[in-house]
Amino acid sequence: MSVKGSSLDDLSKNLSSLFEQWTPPEKEEVKGLFWIWGDLWRRVYSALLDYDDQKYLTQVAWKVVDRSFVPAVKIKYITMLDVFSFSNAANKQVDVRYTGPNGDNRMHETIRGYVVNQSLRKVPFSSMYCSVYTKDESTRRRYILTPPYYTYDYGSVTIDMITYVNNVFSVCMPFLEGSVEGFIAFNIGFLLPRDEEINYEKLYDLINLLIFNFQLKQLKYRGVGDSGKALLLSELQSFVQRVEEYIVNIDVQYRNLQIFKRMDEKKLLDPRKETFAHQDDKKSSLFGSFDSVSCTTTPTRPSLGSRLNPSLYHKSPLQTAMKVEKCDLKTSVEVTPIFSPEQSPAQVSKLREESIVKERDEFRCQFSFLKFGDETYSDLLENIIYAYTVTYTMIIIPYDGRNIAGIKRLLSPFDRIVPGKKSIFGQTIVSVANPLIDVSFMTEFPHESDELFCAPYCIVDMNNGSVKCSSQLSLTKYYVERGNTLFSNFIKSLGFTTKTSHLKKMVELHGSSFAKPFCVVMLNCVGSGSGVLFDVILTKFVEYIRMKARILIMYLERKTSEGVLPDFCELVKITGCSTVEDVWCIASLLKDSENSFVINLFLKRASDAIRKKDTFSANFGGPLTYFSSSYSRSIGM
């Protein structure tokens, strides 16, 4: 390989220098996931342009064509998959196509026309913007190379009386073949229930990562052989499987909600079935009424059996119907015994007792990973809740398949803290990690999948009771660390040595103290098999956090409007928490709320403060319960 005026040692040194110098300047903070990918593509393109005499950009063969791609899994929701390149060079081509069972072959040409048209119109606008507002070459190049994305509505289709919208999501990534204007477009079409949404940021990241790895493989072997094509097709198989699984879980949750709504409208609620729902509050605010939750049991027209056996009214959550009003969270549980009048009181009592025992056993099986009487398992509950609040993706290795229902029962109520939030839970235990699903269940977690996740994540192993999370829980710092890891992989793929940079190992997580008393009571409920009490305590806990979240947002908005940094000492006191970690945990639940901008600023400062507090404790001994006002101001809070 020839290098312009440099030896191979100088080239390796320059690449290492380029890697080491990449840290966001203090005046230019990371602005998000799109900023990170734009800067990563800029660094890769700059390295190939400046330090390799452009041979990788001009002499690598690109001929990857497969117009008969067939997924290995059964497809229902994906309508199209189209990967194509746009380049001035006629001999450089990437073209992979697939049309789903609910798709149309004409979609490919139509979407390609839209994408090319949008990309060509973007070029003069980008050039004008960079010439007027940007003087720095690296900033200009990052702006041009940041992959844009487009969404298209390609009509709708009705399946099983449910209307699905045919969405097409397109991302245009830089084509590392010489011209800045060249790109590789990735188009994915999928059916989504109307009014449902997906996490486009995670999908955007997964697409960028796939094309990034493919281009590195192609550059590494200089286009010789089929290694690049084999990697692309293999990664596309995994990608299609992940997207299909993701939308299946969305559809299952949507259908379950629609079934309950129809039953509620027809007043056909059967108290023996699980019917816990709340009114759609997408337009409601976090500042709605925060009345305390009360749970009452009111029998109506008790039968003869009910008078002889009061335990008939001991209803588990699988037998209660609860409805949370939009602005009044007072909950009413109405239980109506339904037995045949021809049955004798003894028969009714026996059947009822058998049903109670069965449901109690089912409830215990949902939490079979917990052991009653062992305080360490209350810590496990505490750590699971804490990990769910502070991370963006949760991987769970269950003790057995029945734990899936238990985890949903434990974590899904926390979505009610943020109006309109819907976490996607996996429905089965899978063997392939899926970063698109918020809470997924796996047989084991392969550590080579660390780079799949675009945000901090956690792993819960119920077999040994461990909860581990990313070493960086700050979203911005995680972005930087992951970007350095991917760029390090790029340097190594070209055969150069540099300082190793990988995502740091997972660390053991210790839960927040404010959840401790609730977790102890919930563990006792599991031991006694009382599902009703478990749900009531959990509902109280969620309401407790929601009230603290309301106080936190009001305080932060007031301080932000005044242009004053939050005082952690004051904030800990007014929220009734004991440590800064407790406040940070509550704020983490609101990272996807309408106040996300203010919350994310606070989380960044709180993360720095916790890190400095740990350093202070390590140097001088003894933990700090909370910061004094003077100490808070001294660290810039």
Q: State the pairing for strand pair 297-299/333-335.
A: parallel
pLDDT of residue 256: 85
622 in the same domain as 540: yes
- Which comes out higher in pLDDT, residue 395 or 337? 395
- Which comes out higher in pLDDT, residue 491 or 621? 491
**E-strand stretches of 462-595:** 466-469, 507-508
pLDDT of residue 312: 31
Q: What kind and span of H or E run contains 275?
A: strand 275-278
Is-contact 329 540, C-beta < 8 A? no
Query: For residue 467, how many other CB atoms are within 10 A of its CB?
Result: 25
pLDDT of residue 89: 75
pLDDT of residue 633: 31
Over range 68-96, report the average pLDDT. Answer: 89
pLDDT of residue 506: 80
Does residue 460 form part of some domain? no
pLDDT of residue 572: 82
pLDDT of residue 420: 75
Q: Nearest 5°: phi and psi at 102?
A: -105, 15
Is-contact 427 252, C-beta < 8 A? yes
Does residue 108 form part of some domain? yes
236 in the same domain as 102: yes
- Which comes out higher in pLDDT, residue 304 or 605? 605
Domain end, chosen from 307, 337, 366, is at 366
71 in the same domain as 192: yes
Indicate whether 435 pLDDT > 90.
yes
Does residue 224 form part of some domain? yes
pLDDT band at 248 (very low <50, low <70, confident <90, very high): very high
286 in the same domain as 247: no
Indicate whether 293 pLDDT > 50.
no
Does residue 417 form part of some domain? no
551 in the same domain as 620: yes
pLDDT of residue 279: 44
pLDDT of residue 307: 29
DSSP 412: G
326 in the same domain as 243: no
Establish how many alpha carbons lie within 13 A of residue 376's alpha carbon, considering only the half-sphere containing its beta carbon. 7
Least confident range of 138-147, 326-335, 354-363, 395-404: 326-335
Closest listed residue to residue 634, CA positions, set 568, 571, 561, 563: 568
244 in the same domain as 302: no
Q: What kind and span of H or E run contains 522?
A: helix 516-528
Does residue 535 form part of some domain? yes
- Which comes out higher in pLDDT, residue 88 or 319? 88
pLDDT of residue 330: 38
pLDDT of residue 620: 29
285 in the same domain as 170: no
pLDDT of residue 85: 92
> Using one digit for the tens of pLDDT, what is the confidence trace for 11-57?
445 555 554 444 554 445 567 889 899 999 999 888 887 766 667 77
317 in the same domain as 273: yes
Indicate whether 282 pLDDT > 50.
no
In angstroms, the CA 580 to CA 571 distance is 9
- Which comes out higher in pLDDT, residue 296 or 583? 583
Burial bucket for residue 179 (CB in 10 Å: 0-12, 13-18, 19+)? middle
Q: Which residues contact 511 (CB under 8 A, 6 or more apart)?
A: 379, 382, 383, 385, 386, 519
pLDDT of residue 294: 35
Indicate whether 512 pLDDT > 80.
no
pTM: 0.80
pLDDT band at 265 (very low <50, low <70, confident <90, very high): low
Closest listed residue to residue 228, CA positions, set 61, 37, 55, 1: 61
Q: Which residue range(s) make up the domain with 588? A: 530-634
Is-contact 186 83, C-beta < 8 A? yes
Does residue 78 form part of some domain? yes
pLDDT of residue 395: 94
Q: Give the largest CA-CA distance in the chain.
A: 99
In angstroms, the CA 238 to CA 450 distance is 15
Token pair in block for residue 501: 């940079």
DSSP secondary structure, 309-341, as one string: -GGGG---TTS-EEEE-SS-----EEE-----T
Kindly report the average pLDDT of the chain as a whole number.
76
Count: domains in the chain: 3
Indicate whether 270 pLDDT > 80.
no
330 in the same domain as 225: no
Query: For residue 91, how many other CB atoms are within 10 A of its CB?
Result: 9
DSSP 288: S
Q: Nearest 5°: phi and psi at 138?
A: -65, -40
217 in the same domain as 113: yes
Indicate whether 485 pLDDT > 60.
yes
Indicate whether 253 pLDDT > 80.
yes
Does residue 129 form part of some domain? yes
Indicate whether 141 pLDDT > 70.
yes
pLDDT of residue 309: 35
Domain end, chosen from 366, 388, 409, is at 366
Domain end, chosen from 366, 401, 435, is at 366
- Which comes out higher in pLDDT, residue 169 or 272? 169
331 in the same domain as 245: no
pLDDT band at 58 (very low <50, low <70, confident <90, very high): confident
Over range 156-172, report the average pLDDT. Answer: 92
Does residue 69 form part of some domain? yes
